[in-house]
Amino acid sequence: MIDEKILAQMNGEYVMPPDAGPAWRAAYEAGIDVSLIEVNLQKTPWERLLANDAALALIRVLENAKSPNPGA
């Protein structure tokens, strides 16, 4: 029997940390995916900057793919 709470979390329900402060709660209430910030906070600052470089590279690939002359 699957626990209903766990199932809800598996389906995307965010579990607010009990010690979350007002700004964290406000960001969540405003619709910001704070779980992604949590993932970022587990990285080192340098890893966060490298992830930005990687994201930009992917954006350029996608921009190039949708242009009329890919690779041009």
Partner 1 sequence: MDQLTEILRQLHDANVEFSLIGGFASRYYGVTLVTEDVDVCARFTPQNLRRIENAVKEYNPFHRLAANKLPLELTDELCSRLKNLYLKTDIGILDCLSEVAGIGDFNAVIQQSQKVSFPFGDCYILKIEALIRAKQAVGRQHDLIAVQQLSAIKDRLDQQPELKFRS
Binding site for partner 1 (CB under 8 A): 17, 19-24, 26-28, 30, 32-34, 36-38, 40-41, 43-46, 48-53, 55-57, 59-60
Q: Can you tell me the distance from the alpha carbon of 35 to that of 57, in angstroms, rounded to the nearest whole number?
A: 23
Tokens of 59: 């954006």
Q: How far is the CB of 39 from partner 1 (least distance, A)?
A: 8
Q: Which of 70, 46, 49 is nearest to 60 (CA)?
A: 70
When the beta carbons of 6 and 56 are compared against partner 1, the nearer one is 56
**For partner 1, which is the closer residue by CB, 12 or 45?**
45
Q: How far is the CB of 3 from partner 1 (least distance, A)?
A: 27
The number of residues making up the chain comes to: 72
Q: Is 3 helix (H, G, I), strand (E, B) or coil?
A: coil
